[in-house]
Structure 1
């Protein structure tokens, strides 16, 4: 809080704190009145006098303090004004510094740009010098070449002179050098066309040869395949013919074996039929069995033999029992 706007209570509190102890010290310096005089009136007068002196001192202190406060307030206002002026001055100075920095930056940019432009101009100048030197060399080379080719110009002039005084056909007579050059270009073009036609014909021949070679190769492959197939079929035929001989011999062996088996089968059937007839006579029964049904005959023979075996076993058993008894 500013001292210039203090309230009265704050001011009184300030005086009490600042001068209370000093007043006590001053009062202690005065001699003890009770020791000097016992009169109450005298003490009252002295107290009033002391109070008046103290009040006067307090007023002086208060005035002094107010003057000092006014001086301080004025000083404070002056400092505020100076501070505002200083801030304005600092702001102007900062603005001045900023403007100087911007000017310096623009100047640096301009200097850099001019330096780059100068370097670019120097590079362009060096390049132009190099191109100029190259053009001079090219001019010297062309001049030397022109000097070397001057003999051809003289030769062409002689050709024109000779063609005018000769008995050649009109296409071979020339009045200017450019006609000779045009004729030469025409002949070169015709030669190129002929060479191209010959090359195309040669390429067609080569392609035809290549197609013929591929065709011959394909046919050779087909012939080789047919020969291989023919050889394979011949081998199969030879194997089949050898197999035929083998199978013919096997067939003859099978036929011989079959004849033997047939003969043996006939013998077995005859023996079986004889046994069947003997069994039939022994059984004294009429059986209706076909003469060709050998299996049925064998079954009956087996049954007859089984019956005989059973009878024999029974007879043998009875004989043994009789022997025991």
Structure 2
């Protein structure tokens, strides 16, 4: 007895279409493999060996195969259409992904460049901050040094202010000077006069010593000559006249020397008088009593020398203060 069939048996499993391209390709290859499968029926479905039954079975199988073939053709066209559509979508997605990848790559490069520029700017800013910090430390150190110098200058000013006060008092009380620079000018004038007088005195003393030495030597020589001439007076009467003339000549020279000595003595007296007058003026301006004798010229010169040295120190100090004051301004 032949098996009964309620309808045509479909051996192809219709898969649902998916948007996943990889899954669609996998299903496509599975469908190809299913087409090659040879369908085998179980032994209990095999009909008998009757020719009519064989013919009926063959016709039925042929009709079933034609139906399945038509269904597979329709399914294959539908799948081909879906596959073509999916391939088009995949190509458009691939193109879109390519464009997205290029844009992303460009964006990554730009971000890398921006990051490098930002890192360089951060590094430059850090270096600038370090340099500024070092400059600040240097300025603080200089400020501390300047403050110490300022305090030191204040101490110097306080220390030497008494000299300025003294000079201002001299200007007020003497009525001889109009300002402190005039005192310095007078001091320089006195120094120059002292040097000139000292040089002149040294020259005069040298000339006087030379003349005295020559006169002493000459006197000794003439004394010896006179002693020899006294012993030979009788024999050298003729030479007496020449000796007398020579003596008159030397007497003239001695007279000239005496006149020169008198002039130098007069000059020395004037110098001593000038020295005494300078000493009196110094004592008057300092407001100290006169303790040196008029004839003690050495002490007068020592006192004048000390006063000049004091004025020189005062001038030097005042000049330093003026230079520092101008630098401070």
Same fold (TM over 0.5): no
Bigger Rg, structure 1 or 2: 1
Greater helix share, structure number: 1
Question: Per chain length, whose mean CA-contact separation is higher, i.e. which structure has more relative contact order (CA < 8 Å, sep 6+)?
Answer: 2
TM-score (norm 2): 0.38
